[in-house]
Amino acid sequence: MGYKQKLKWLGAAAVLVFLLCYELAVKGTLNEYSKFSGYSKLNASARQQDHVTLSGLDQRQEELKVLYEAFVLDTLQPEKNLLSVASNFCKEHHLDLKEYRMVSLATRDSTKVLTRAVSAEGSFIGCLYLVYELERRKKTGKVSSVEFKSYVDPAAKSTRLTCTIYIQNLLNR
């Protein structure tokens, strides 16, 4: 065998060794690099979504906190004390405050819900305005139900209207 043939075989062997190295090492490295790039992009988008999700959760938690605080019972403030607000309103609008009582104290999960009832007697418009005043203007709690009853008073020989308003508040733990 001459030098020319050895050189041909050496060139062919070099090409085979190059293909073998490419197949075993370089191709695997390039595949891993492309997978890594894909995972990096996914990770970056996931982090961005987590940030958006966390900020959305923080915003939702603030909204719930505002809603929760709107119905928390606070009897130390006279403007939120149900009995004080109801009796002052009844005096101003010529309604008779007939009853103030606790109806129930229910516990659901870790939240306690206190339900109280206020009964007033007088005109229909006055009673409706009392409902509006208690829930919307003075925000003494959530009005869960309103019951209107009319009866004939034999002594006065007139029809009387009684309005019972059920108000719910959340109690702190």
Q: What was the pLDDT predicted at 143?
A: 92
Contact 98, 162 (CB under 8 A): yes
Nearest to 161 by CA among 112, 95, 105: 95
Q: What was the pLDDT predicted at 51?
A: 66
According to CATH, the superfamily of the domain at 82-171 is Ribosomal protein S6/Translation elongation factor EF1B (3.30.70.60)
Rg (CA), the chain: 39
Give the CB-side neighbour count of residue 16, counting CA atoms within 13 A.
Answer: 6
- For the entire predicted model, the pTM comes to 0.62
Q: What was the pLDDT predicted at 133?
A: 92
Q: How many CB atoms lie within 10 A of CB 130?
A: 23
Would you give the distance in Å from CA 110 to the centre of its chain? Answer: 15
Domain layout of the chain by residue ranges: 1-70, 82-171
Segments of the chain scoring below 70 in pLDDT? 50-52, 70-71, 74-76, 173
89/85 Cα distance (integer angstroms): 6
SS3 (DSSP) at 142: strand
